[in-house]
Amino acid sequence: MTEHLLGSVGLPADMLWTDEFNWSTVIRSTEYALTGALIVDVGQRLAGRPITLAGSADGGWVTRATVDALRVLASALPGQYVLTLADGRSFNVVFAPEDALTADPVVDFSDPGVDAWYVVTVKLIEV
């Protein structure tokens, strides 16, 4: 596969998964009992992994038409999609609740066309 695919929207393969290794499946919490003993609770996270795909000034650009298509996906209900990465891995995802999509023009135009280039960051959560 030469691109990432979010639902029906193709994204450049050189958009990087910036937080791929910043999440652990193991969650731990500690507290002290009234006796002073340390209690450690350990569990396994089943969902909630962040997946942030980001372009940069050097690549991973998308057209304004793609930004519009992503905005439609982010606004749809229930809003759960399959993300297939260029390497073949697939994840069931939803858009993050805050700052799910940011897009900055590569070159500022007063009236950009659908083929104008944007640097995009897409924040998703695995469900």
Q: What is the CATH number of domain 3-126?
A: 2.40.30
- What Rg do the C-alpha atoms of the chain give, in angstroms? 19
Spans of the chain below 50 pLDDT: none
Asked if residue 108 lies in contact with residue 116, where contact means CB atoms within 8 angstroms, the answer is no
| Domain regions of the chain by residue span | 3-126
pTM: 0.86
What pLDDT is stored for residue 1 in this prediction? 54
User: Which phi-psi region, left, alpha or beta, contains residue 99 (left: φ > 0; alpha: ψ -120 to 50)?
Assistant: left
